Amino acid sequence: MSGRVLSFGGFQLDPDRRLLLEGGRMVRVGSRALDILIALVARAGEVVPKDDLIARAWPGTTVEEASLRVHVAALRKALGDGQGGRRLVMNVPGRGYSFVGTLDAPAPTTAPVEPPGNTTLPAPLTRLIGREEMVRDLAAHLRQRRLVTIVGPGGIGKTTVALAVAEDLAATYPDGVIFVDLAPVSDPLLVSSAVTAALGLAIRAERHTEGLLAAVQGRRHLLLLDSCEHVVEAAAHLAEVLLRGAPGSAILATSREALRAEGEWVQRMPPLGLPPAIPTLTAAEAMRFPAVQLFVERAAASLGGFTLTDAQAPLVADICRRLDGIALAIELAAGRMDAFGLQELATLLDDRLRVLMRGRRTALPRHQTLRAALDWSYGTLTEPEKAILRRLAVFAGGFTLAAARAVALRPPADDAGFEDDVACLVAKSLIATEAGDLGVTYRLLDTTRAYARERLKDSGEAACASQCHAAFHRSLFEQAAAEWETRPTAEWLGTYARRVDDLRAALVWAFGPAGDPDLGVALTVAAVPLWFQLSLVDEGIAWAERALAALGPGQPADDRRRMQLQAALGWTQMYAIGRVERSTAAWRAALDLAEALGDRDYQQRALWALWADRTNHGAFREALAIADRFRALMASEEADATDRLVGERMTGASLHFLGEQARARAHIDHMIERYVAPSRRSHVVRYQFDQLVTARITRARILWLQGFPDQALQEVEASVARAISLSHTLSLCNVLAQAACPIALLAGDHAAAARHLALLRRHTGAQALDVWRAYADGFEGEFLARTGRPETGLPLLRDAVEELRRAHFTQYLTAFLAALGDCLIAQGQAEDGLAVIEEALARCEATGERWCLPELLRLKGEALIALARPDAGALFEASLALAREQGVPAWELRAATSGARLLAARRRGAEAHGLLAPVLGRFTEGFGTADLRRGAELLATFEAPAAKAPRRAAR
């Protein structure tokens, strides 16, 4: 190969000059890695035995095979091997390595641009990923400002970027680029000595600064001061001295904190770009983000090849997010792919420091493991700073300065210097900050938190810090419970929803073996509004049950907390399959305690909940009696006017199910016209749902029954929009399940039904809302059966009915039975359909439910016709009479249509016309709905009696 330059994959290798170039720029690799490359390229396509490579790189020396692997890995990284499908060096297990790249035609050696004299930059062992734009920007700043400091936490990639900037600017500084590693310098007085040593100068100690200035004066150096944080004041002083004495030179520094030197430009190093948390993230989408690119490249180097698949992409993205986009942490994690599979690695990351223990042997000592990097940072702190940092590790998420004081302000930290110590931790990149509308929020990166928790445990302060943390959050959520009476919901959530992770952490500690159960009970009670506002049903149940189990017997304070917890338990169990009976017991216990304590507020809550419980059970007469009792309690002068309107809504809803639509609408309209959500109290917390949305659910149902289908659908859309604007899952699911889905199906608007059903599915899937999940199954089954897919829809609808039966959650069961019976009849299964309808009629007889009784009578008539049995006509007449009595033209139209069809089949077309035409004529809207279209089409087949009347008169 003598006298020739070998080209491959964008690289040029000059063996004689021992140079590796890429795009005309020198690629820095270690001398042994270069020896290995030359040996492999010389025998391209062959397997070069390991012993041959060791003999070439370490002639006359005995080394272990591990050393060869390290240098091959460094070589592959420098070549970008494994990225973008590039394959240059391949491991042949048990034999050696082979160069598998394509060699271009050899060309004569040309003298490359020689590197500047006295350049001491170490060879980069990794390819720069995701920082290219930053390198260009920093190079531009350095040309203008002469002192640039790259600031960021340990392992973020400051040194890698600084080296890339220095490489980019090397030709600009004829007197060289000098790398000064200050990490080993323990004494600030020795900083200038480290610089003079890097410059290759010999200066007498007593005149060190003057000698250094004299040596650099008139020269044009770029000085890279790496890891200044532990000697930051000395580094800042030296930088100012050098820049004043050598106006042609520049300084690039890396540090956990800014030097605060004159003329300094500070560039804070952000984490590597991370993909969003999307379950459907593909490999191609993930690979657009630098953090994932780095993981994949390092995994490929560790495994001898790794290609990200679509199935792996969400998991790799999650790993990178959990490592905060910190380059060193990602590199170390990917480097453990040889020991763990991807899934196991993700699981083990809960113990980050144990997993991230092994790095490159050739890296700087402080970068060989994440623990070493964090040990290095921790060792630079003062004792108060160390104490504050480790105590702040108890926070699971962000925290305010007030929260930090509550937890961390104990000796050796002191009150006078606390804010300054926190500011120093921020400056040293150990605490991250985020400025928002509500002020500055602080947080520890996850890797820093894991390290600080170990230090906290070792210090013996963990129990005390956890106690302070839980006590602070008890006070915080007691304040939250008081504020929900006065603050708008969105603003309230903006303040407190972000604290949910710390709430969980405090509760876990409080109810744990070394915790404080009394504190846990108080915290659980205080946090009840947050569980409701966030619709976290199962979680609220679990904590309320745990707190109840921890309560002591019989004291008044305990009785008040027991009442509050029973109420919380009743709310959260109300919409969970299999827990409805327990919900009833919880509310009865809460009501008894509220009456004993004379607590009107909780009497209201309990009565409302018991009314909802009886409604959910289909016991509508009992529900109406409880609504009357609620309104009686609200009749006193002390009662709030909006609470009286809630009683109106309860009464209206009960009357609707009992079939008294005119009276029901009067109550509902009265409530809606006058109701304004109270500014002092959130009805979402007291009554679980937004009361205006809930009232409009009932009005939409009544409007449909009263023959105003267009208005009903408009009411639905407005209610869904309001529920979405409130960001309250329970209210949204309630309107979707009780109005949007059923009314769209009744109207035959399949597009709207599909849209509302998809929304219901999305939200019930995200929360433990078992009953509404069963509703969604029922609506989907009906939708499929009515749109040509009965083989799928009917089993789903049957299963939903069974699920609601098991739950004893029967408020809408009768309607589902009607839909099931109707679909069975339509599919030729009239016998089964009749049995289902008979069950629904028996339910109505037992409970007093009458709102859908006319429809059930009609469906029974349809079943009898299908079975060729008599009495169908009498059932249609009974349905018509009841629909007219109740004032529900929607059911009247269906009964008239079925009756007219029967008359027509008996060749009594004129009677059929006379029956159907007046009913259709009373409708003023909804002409595009299925029932009105069907009725109009049937009517068009009949001859009007009026056309025959003159002929009869003439005879």
CATH number of domain containing 248: 3.40.50.300
Return the HEC string of 34-99: HHHHHHHHHCCCCEEEHHHHHHHHCCCCCCCHHHHHHHHHHHHHHHCCCCCCCCCEEEECCCEEEE
**Same domain for 405 and 305:** no
Burial call 30-52: b when 16+ CB within 10 Å, e when fewer: bebbbbbbbbbbeebeebbebee
Is residue 515 a part of any domain in this protein?
no
Q: Say what the pLDDT of residue 206 is.
A: 53
Tokens of 637: 């002068």
**pLDDT the model gives residue 616:** 83
Contact between 630 and 650 under an 8 Å Cβ cutoff? The reply is yes
Can you give the pLDDT at residue 928? Answer: 93
Residue whose pair of structure tokens reads 């520094």 in the numeric block: 253
- State the Cα angle at 713 between 708 and 718, rounded to 5°: 125
> For residue 82, is it left (φ>0), alpha (ψ between -120 and 50) or beta?
left
Whether residue 264 is found in the same domain as residue 146: yes
Between strands 265-268 and 147-151, the pairing is: parallel
Q: Three-state DSSP class for 898? A: helix
**DSSP secondary structure letter of residue 225:** E
Q: How far is CA 187 from CA 191, 195, 201, 252, 376, in A?
A: 7, 13, 20, 21, 15
- Spatial contact of 165 and 135, defined as CB atoms under 8 Å apart: yes
3-state DSSP of 550-605 = HCCCCCHHHHHHHHHHHHHHHHHHCCCCCCHHHHHHHHHHHHHHHHHHCCHHHHHH
Last residue of a domain, one of 336, 370, 404: 370
What is residue 951's predicted lDDT score, i.e. its pLDDT? 41
CA dihedral (48, 49, 51, 56) in degrees, to 10, reads 0
Burial of residue 921 (CB within 10 Å: 0-12, 13-18, 19+) is: exposed
Distance from C-alpha of 340 to C-alpha of 348, rounded to nearest angstrom: 9
Please check whether residue 340 lies inside any domain of the structure.
Answer: yes
Last residue of a domain, one of 460, 485, 511: 460
Beta strand 147-151 with 250-255: parallel, antiparallel or unpaired? parallel
Contact by Cβ (8 Å): 231, 184 = no
Q: How many domains does the chain have?
A: 5
Contact at 8 Å (CB) between 469 and 394? yes
Cα separation, 272 vs 268, in Å, equals 12
The reported pLDDT for the residue numbered 873 is: 93
Tokens 């080296």 correspond to 163
Say if residues 940 and 920 touch (Cβ distance below 8 Å): no
Q: Are residues 92 and 59 in the same domain?
A: yes
Q: Is residue 592 assigned to a domain?
A: no
Per-residue pLDDT at 368: 47
CA distance between the termini of the chain: 123
Shared domain for 389 and 322, answered yes or no, is no
d(CA 257, CA 426): 8
Asked whether residue 365 falls in the same domain as residue 393, the answer is no
880: domain CATH number?
1.25.40
**896, part of any domain:** yes
Residue 564 inside a domain? The answer is no
240: exposed, middle or buried (Cβ count in 10 Å: 0-12, 13-18, 19+)? middle
Q: Identify whether 412 is preceded by a cis peptide bond (ω within 30 of 0).
A: yes
812 within some domain = no
What is the sign of the dihedral through the CA atoms of 759, 761, 762 and 768?
positive
Last residue within a domain, chosen from 403, 434, 460: 460
176 and 144 in a common domain = yes
Same structural domain, 321 and 289 = yes
Strands (E), 335-479: 432-436, 439-443
In a domain, 253, yes or no: yes
Contact (Cβ atoms closer than 8 angstroms) between residue 452 and residue 432: no
What pLDDT is stored for residue 651 in this prediction?
A: 97
Are 859 and 822 in contact by the 8 Å Cβ rule? The answer is yes
Say how far apart CA 677 and CA 733 lie, in whole Å.
20
- Is the separation of the CB atoms in 12 and 21 below 8 Å? yes
242 shares a domain with 177: yes
Please state, in angstroms and as integers, the Cα–Cα distance from residue 682 to each residue in 124, 688, 689, 820, following that order.
Answer: 60, 9, 10, 39
- List beta partners, residue 8: 11
Q: At what angle do helices 909-921 and 930-939 cross, to 10 degrees?
A: 140
Distance CA 273, CA 154 (A): 17
Handedness of CA 18, 24, 27, 33 (dihedral sign): negative
- CA angle 79-81-85, nearest 5°? 135
Beta strands in 227-379 (DSSP E): 250-255, 265-268
SS3 602: helix
Are residues 251 and 139 part of one domain? yes
Mean pLDDT per 10-residue segment, the chain (955 residues): 74 81 73 84 89 80 64 77 77 86 65 48 69 90 90 84 88 84 77 77 61 78 88 90 86 90 90 87 91 86 79 89 81 71 74 51 50 70 91 90 92 88 79 71 79 90 94 94 78 84 91 92 88 74 87 73 86 55 83 90 89 88 94 83 90 96 96 79 62 94 97 95 84 91 95 94 66 88 95 94 82 91 95 96 92 97 94 95 97 97 93 95 95 95 62 35
Dihedral pair phi/psi, residue 268, rounded to 5°? -80, 135
| CA dihedral sign of residues 795, 797, 801, 807 | positive
Q: Which helix (H) or strand (E) holds 116?
A: none
Residue 810 DSSP code: -
- Residue that the structure tokens 């009917």 belong to: 794
User: For the chain, what is the radius of gyration of the CA atoms?
Assistant: 38
Task: State the Cα–Cα distance between residues 607 and 80, nearest whole angstrom.
Answer: 70
pTM reported for the whole predicted model? 0.53
Clarify whether residues 197 and 98 are in a common domain: no
Distance CA 252, CA 27 (A): 21
SS3 for 14? Answer: strand
Residue 29 has phi, psi (to 5 degrees) of -130, 155
Say if residues 254 and 276 touch (Cβ distance below 8 Å).
Answer: no
**Which amino acid type is present at position 261?**
A
Asked whether residue 208 falls in the same domain as residue 326, the answer is no
DSSP character for 739?
I
Phi, psi dihedral angles at 359 (to 5 degrees): -125, -160
Element (H, E) at 689: none
Q: What is the pLDDT of residue 712?
A: 96
pLDDT given at position 683: 55
Predicted local confidence at residue 59, as pLDDT: 75
Same domain, 306 and 353: yes
C-alpha distances out from residue 29 to 13, 52, 99, 226, 634, Å: 12, 20, 17, 20, 83
So what's the pLDDT on residue 110?
46
Assigned domain for 200 exists: yes
Q: In this predicted model, what pLDDT tens digit does every residue of 350-395 receive, in sequence order?
A: 655 555 544 444 444 544 456 666 776 777 788 999 999 999 999 9
| Residue 174 token pair | 């004829």
Alpha-carbon distance of 129 to 77, in angstroms, equals 11
Tokens matching residue 523: 């915290």
Q: Which residue's entry shows tokens 């009565």?
A: 607
Q: Domain residues for 194?
A: 132-268
CATH number at residue 53: 1.10.10.10
Q: Strand 250-255 and strand 222-226: pairing?
A: parallel
- Strands 25-26 and 222-226, by their bridges, are unpaired
